[in-house]
Structure 1
Amino acid sequence: MERNTLAGSDAVAEKRTLGVEEEFHLVDSTTGKPSDSGPQMAHERSGVTGPGQVDPELLSSQVELSTPVCSDLGELRAALTRLRNDLVDTADRRGERLVASGTYPDSYRSLITPKQRYEEMVARFGVVAREQVVCGCHIHVGVNDPDLAVAVMNRARPWMATLLALSANSPFWRGEDTNYDSYRAQIWWQWPSSGMPGVCGSYEEYVESTQHLVDVGVLQDRGMLYWDIRPSEHLSTVEFRICDVVPRAEQTVMLAGLARALTARCVAEERDGIPLPRTTPELECAARWRAARSGLSGDLVDPVAARAHPAAKQVHRMLDYLDPTLREHGDREAVREQVTHLLHTGTNASMQRAAFQSRNSLRDVLEAATVTTTEG
């Protein structure tokens, strides 16, 4: 993503700007196998899609869209719809499908996109890099002050697992049901700079502590800081990276609305001098694992109270906590509608399992996760 693509402004009251990056699998419509046309498609769509952009990814069977800066959820939905529709139409002309699943469900070894940086990553990380046949959704929320961005990272920690549970969309891996709702999270957390960083008192402290990973030779550069939430290295944003990609644009919009409300709430608490919520790394890790394991179908862990709650209760606790900032942004009804739908129907992981069970066919799973054109 280019510098300042999603830059926000703190000057506009507390109504913060938004941007989203979504990764997708490209799958051959006839064989059901990943297509290695991601770099070609990204090159073909460069400069054609209007505001926003399309980029290749680490694996040649993937492609990523990035929205322009958006001021509200309606604008974000329109941008996502336009960009998704363009990719779907392009894939269709090529005899391919655009698949929104956190993992590619069957066994397949994708090619690495021919780019020096990606080749160096594979040389450094080996199978960890080659196994990243996974697709996530990254949400950027505008925060101009880097110290405030770090404060958001510190304060949002208790709710990261709930965001993951709501987005869970990757139960299958290498042809079998993993019994996880988000197995993508398990794969992604193999990187040495994934999960959550430590609590930092300032942006300067954050840079100093994370730079050590580069200095000791573990990471190539700071662009490989793959934390579940982080201050962007190049944009005036906080970036939420914990979510699986989801099939429907309105679900992505819901996740973005929650991320923006959480950012606004954390900034307000930091400015009001409210003490940080007290958690432990162990409980935070357990909360994220529990969310990846059972999504919305089991318990979710509250790392502050050190208690497990039924998933629906923990989700409603988050909605109640964010209600003031959801109202301020005018997002309350749109977000609650989509959250209520998910709590009623189950996660997209449940949808994938239901598709599989009808004929024990992973092709049906791909069909269920295929992105279709919609009206903006």
Structure 2
Amino acid sequence: MARTFGVEEELLLVDARTRLPLAAGDDAVHLAGLAASLPPHMPPRPALTVELQREQIEIVGPPCATLAQQVSAIREGRLMADAAARAVGGRAVPLATSVSAGLPHLVPEARYERIQRHVGLLAAEQLTCGLHVHVEVDDHEEGVAILDRIRVWLPVLLALSANSPFWYGVETGFASYRYQAWTRWPTAGAYELFGSVAEHDRRMDAVLRSGVALDPGMLYHDARLSARYPTVEVRVADVCLDPAHAAVVATLVRALVETAARQAREGVPPAQVGVTELRAWSWQASRFGVEEQLISPATGAPAPAADVVGALLDLLRPVLAEYEEVAPVEVVVAEILHGGSGARRQRAAFAGRGDLIDVVDAAIALGIPVPPVDGDDEPG
């Protein structure tokens, strides 16, 4: 039986006319008649909620069993988010950072206000949108074994998803500047090998005891045991421009989790790679995406991005074959490698006139499905 997997997508809210960030995400969620907090269980259909800033809307996707279901769920969720945004004069856009200048506005909730008091400008500047993938696990013991074995491949997933070359009106030179902004948080980014549930819990408790993380929700590692669901949550990816890219990144995560679980059962030890090395690998992925070289987990040295991605596909192919997902995954991965991730597409949109509004327009056109006509059962 295939593990179920679900995604959470954070989208940027922009004014429908000016295309500038719009501080109305909480209003959009409330006006849509939807809960303004995360549901206690993954919903049976996509649901909307607020995020840290009022310029965001988050989509909480349902558990899915197949890639096809995931594509459908992501499209449906994006349609829901865009409809809610339209109700307050905005649009929901799959951009991982804001392309326009201007500080965001905090959602007026007690926890968010406490976080802002704690971290100051770090929260005041924080307007990033990620793709979080939840994959079901049997228990914490299996989850920790998976975390130990997937960590060396997380930079490759970041590179495939890279969709944030602009930051508040500036061309950053990075494919994923979201990752650079996000890893300023003291508990974000790469994590150590744990080896056991006891050691995992000891280290997490130590960070909480320090007071640097105010609660378990602020343990922002690239992958973690979810505090809400019986899942491993992989948080390294940018929100993707294309819904199909998002679904395939999620599918790769699910296959990686299953592969790691099998390795653990077979006694295959995790790669002994330190946090400093992993941070360097992730920086390389954030800087160049799939446009140049990535660091090979096999050698620790740079190699063409296509070769490193190919090694990941080789590792995952037995699981993808069981799930009958090899062909559709390879098609989309080839499209990302040759046509570019969201970062390249954003830059291409900007290159035409040198106008950042064109980047937002392209993101809406490429990332938000066309609403179905009356009588059409499909969500996009």
Aligned partner (choices 8, 28, 33) of residue 20 of structure 2: 33
Paired letter, 1:313? D
| Contact in 2 for aligned 1:67/1:80 (Cα 8 Å) | yes
Return the alpha-carbon distance in structure 1 between the equivalents of residues 284 and 167 of structure 2.
Answer: 18
Q: Secondary structure at the match of 2:133?
A: strand
- The Cα offsets for residues 87-122 of structure 1, whole Å up to 9 and x where unpaired, read as 223323433121111100121111100000000000
The correspondence of residues 136-155 of structure 1 with structure 2, limited to 5 A, is 136-155=130-149
TM-score of the superposition, structure 1-length normalised? 0.93
Could you list the per-position Cα deviations for residues 165-197 of structure 1 after superposition, in whole angstroms to 9, with x for gaps in the alignment? Answer: 000000001211100000000000011111122
Q: Which residue of 1 aligns with 2:231?
A: 237
Counterpart of 1:9 in structure 2 is none
Kept after mapping to 1: 8 A contact 2:21/2:55: yes
Measure the CA separation in 1 of the matches of 2:45 and 2:274: 42
- Letter of the 1:22 counterpart: E
Q: Which runs of 5+ in 2 are unaligned?
A: 36-42, 371-377
1:337 and 2:328 matched? no
Q: 2:6 matched to 1:19?
A: yes
TM-score, normalised by the number of residues in structure 2: 0.92
5 Å-filtered alignment, 1:177-196, equals: 177-196=171-190
Aligned pairs, how many?
A: 363
1:6 paired residue number = none
Question: What's 1:94 paired with?
Answer: 88
Aligned to 1:70: 64
Task: Please state whether the residue corresponding to 2:148 is helix, strand or coil.
Answer: helix
Mapped to 1, the partners of 2:170 and 2:224 lie a distance apart of 32
- Once the 2 structures are TM-superposed, how far is the Cα of residue 325 of structure 1 from its aligned partner? 0.7
- 1:197 corresponds in structure 2 to 191
Question: 1:211-258 CA deviation, whole Å, 9 max, x = no partner?
Answer: 111111111111111000111122111111000001222111100110
Deviates more, 1:337-346 or 1:66-75: 66-75
In the aligned structure 2, how far is the partner of 1:321 from the partner of 1:303?
12
Using the alignment, how far apart are the partners of 1:91 and 1:281 within structure 2? Answer: 40
Contact 2:4 2:65 in 1 (8 A): yes
Structure 1 partner of 2:112? 118
Aligned to 1:52: 46
For residue 30 of structure 2, the aligned residue among 20, 23, 43 is 43
**Conservation of the 8 A alpha-carbon contact between 1:88 and 1:373:** no
Whichever residue aligns with residue 369 of structure 2, its letter is T
Q: Deviations over 1:23-58 (max 9, x none)?
A: 001100222221111111112334499723110010
Verify the 8 A CA contact 2:28 2:88 in the aligned structure 1: no
Other-structure match for 2:126:
132
Residues 1:305 and 2:299 are matched in the alignment: yes
2:260 and 2:187 mapped to 1: Cα distance? 23
Paired AA for residue 29 in structure 1: A
1:61-96 CA deviation, whole Å, 9 max, x = no partner? 101001111111222222221121122233234331
Q: Would you say the 8 A contact 2:192–2:274 is kept in 1?
A: no
Distance 1:237 1:329 in 2: 19
1:318-376 CA distances to partner (integer Å, 9 max, x unpaired)?
A: 10111001111222112111101111101210111111111010101111112322454
Q: What amino acid is aligned across from residue 16 of structure 1 in structure 2?
A: R
Q: 1:155 to 1:245 in 2, by over 3 A?
A: same
Q: 2:242 aligns with which of 239, 248, 251?
A: 248
Could you tell me which of 348, 358, 362 is aligned with 1:368? Answer: 362
Alignment of 1:185-334 (within 5 A): 185-334=179-328
Cα distance change on mapping 1:204 and 1:43 into 2, 3 Å: farther
